[in-house]
Structure 1
Amino acid sequence: MELTEAVSRIGARMKSRKVNVGHTERNASLVGGAALAVTGIKALTGRRYLPGLAMMVAGGMFLYRGKTGFCGLYQALGVDTSENAAGGVLIETFVTINRTPQQVYEFWRNLENLPSFMRHLESVEVTGENTSHWKARGPAGVTVEWDAEMVADYPGQLILWRSTGEAALPNEGTVEFREAPGDRGTELKVSIRYYPPGDGPGKAAAKMANAITGAQIEEDLKRLKQILETGETATAERTNNH
């Protein structure tokens, strides 16, 4: 009887741990957890036992969060970012840039640089340590604005953001910076998920979201590659196209 009750309690506890972490956050947790674990192992190898163990534990927690989609802190605070995880429009693109991951990261981390190579962005204004205001152009001169927050920031490795509040065009995404094989610089992976609204006030934002394609983001990353490798800007090209 006691064993049966124990199993029931464990089962009830597991059921209460429903997925409450969104898709991109889970990916970020997996990447960040792996990075922390590797750093912890290096620290242990160098006989820095306390910091090494701390990083190993933290890495394990992030890996668990990413694997299961469950966050105890979110549950305690009543936060759930998984509601849109299965929907939206996902765009993933890759490019190899002949610069170090840290160099590419530093350029991207200065969010106000993004409109210099992303055609649909008119401006990005940094409003706080982890917050920003975005303004984008769409078909027929449509303008859409939203606020965003940086959820995760691992220098030289990963950036995770998501829109906040009543965003006209809800979105989230990750940018991963990895060392390219053969000393070829950085493999940059960008994943963006948009949640186009339906008819009504959000119809213009829906048209904009539908106009953003993988091919367009791929062209954006090619411009980023040109800027970082040659030092040239895309100002002239953007002027000619708008």
Structure 2
Amino acid sequence: MELTEAVPRIGAGRKNRKVNVGHTERNASLMGGAALAITGIKALAGRRLLPGLAMMVAGGMFLYRGKTGYCGLYEAMGVDTSGPAPGGVLIETFVTINRTPQQVYEFWRNLENLPSFMRHLESVKVTGENTSLWKARGPAGVPVEWDAEMVADYPGQLILWHSIGEAALPNEGTVEFREAPGDRGTEVKVSIRYYPPGGAPGKAAAKLTHAVTGAQIEEDLKRLKQILETGETATAERTNNHERP
């Protein structure tokens, strides 16, 4: 991992710093930082000094970022992801898949795979290194689309994204990939927060927000489980086509 900023000295210039990292991204930074720190400690214990120290520094950086909500690199670039404020519609669910965390991560990381198991998505097109265009089916088939940016990517562990620009459906979320107890594969936890837009132009998106429920995402994850464990992508696609409005 390439380090792009050092861990600031505690208390240095704190009065001049403001929160510029969103709450979901802060949570991801805390989780990713802890994971990196633990991996670094294991590397040091195995006498892998340089990789261990690098991971410890990176872990400390992300822990600081998550704890304070401040990112020096963001400030230098004029980036602020602290909005929107907490609220919206939060959906959280998980599933256990009999595949390794890296295998599940790699399938999800190819964002264009998402519509194969997520019923409300029409397509996801990668538009840049960390950006993508999402198209969804709203009630009565009304299309809804938005641009998204991946703001954290820990291979085999976690992915975090949020919508950018004038999104028709502002949203943000995380996907965690953890080893399941008893060698049962991977626990996949999905947390998505939608922010219903206001005004007449946002009615279709607002309806889609309330249509996508925890039960819906749970069914999506069951289809993901089916695809990865049995390879029955055609079955999953037929299911999606049958369920489309």
TM-score w.r.t. length of structure 2:
0.89
> Offset of 1:212 from its aligned partner?
1.0
Give the greater-gyration-radius structure (CA): 1
Q: 2:238 corresponds to which residue? A: 236
Q: 1:61 corresponds to which residue? A: 61
> Offset of 1:102 from its aligned partner?
0.8
> Offset of 1:88 from its aligned partner?
1.8
For 2:237, the aligned partner's letter is T
Task: Please give the secondary structure, in 1, of the residue aligned with 2:118.
Answer: coil
For residues 51-90 of structure 1, what are the structure 2 equivalents within 5 Å? 51-90=51-90
What is the distance in 2 between the residues matched to 1:83 and 1:15?
21
- Asked if residue 161 in structure 1 is aligned to residue 144 in structure 2, the reply is no
Task: Please give the secondary structure, in 1, of the residue aligned with 2:26.
Answer: helix
> Offset of 1:11 from its aligned partner?
8.4
Q: 1:213 corresponds to which residue? A: 213
For residues 151-230 of structure 1, what are the structure 2 equivalents within 5 Å? 151-230=151-230
Change (3 A) 1:238 1:11: closer
Structure 1 residues 86-126: Cα deviation after superposition (integer angstroms, max 9, x where no partner):
12211111111111111111111111111111000001111
For residues 91-106 of structure 1, what are the structure 2 equivalents within 5 Å? 91-106=91-106
> Offset of 1:218 from its aligned partner?
0.8
> Offset of 1:25 from its aligned partner?
0.7
- Asked if residue 116 in structure 1 is aligned to residue 127 in structure 2, the reply is no
- Point out where structure 1 has 5 or more consecutive residues left out of the alignment: 1-9
What is the distance in 2 between the residues matched to 1:97 and 1:226?
9
What is the distance in 1 between the residues matched to 2:90 and 2:23?
11
Range that drifts further, 171-180 or 19-28: 19-28
What is the CA RMSD across the aligned residues, in angstroms?
1.7
Task: Please give the secondary structure, in 1, of the residue aligned with 2:200.
Answer: coil
> Offset of 1:196 from its aligned partner?
1.1
What is the distance in 1 between the residues matched to 2:180 and 2:45?
25
Change (3 A) 1:159 1:11: closer
Q: 1:48 corresponds to which residue? A: 48
Q: 1:130 corresponds to which residue? A: 130
> Offset of 1:12 from its aligned partner?
10
> Offset of 1:85 from its aligned partner?
3.5
For 2:241, the aligned partner's letter is T
Change (3 A) 1:85 1:180: farther
What is the distance in 1 between the residues matched to 2:11 and 2:151?
31
What is the distance in 2 between the residues matched to 1:145 and 1:163?
10
Range that drifts further, 38-47 or 143-152: 38-47
> Offset of 1:60 from its aligned partner?
0.6
For 2:242, the aligned partner's letter is N
Change (3 A) 1:158 1:12: closer
Range that drifts further, 36-45 or 113-122: 36-45
TM-score w.r.t. length of structure 1:
0.91
Range that drifts further, 133-142 or 32-41: 32-41
Percent of residue pairs bearing the same amino acid type = 86
What is the distance in 2 between the residues matched to 1:204 and 1:239?
21
Range that drifts further, 142-151 or 15-24: 15-24
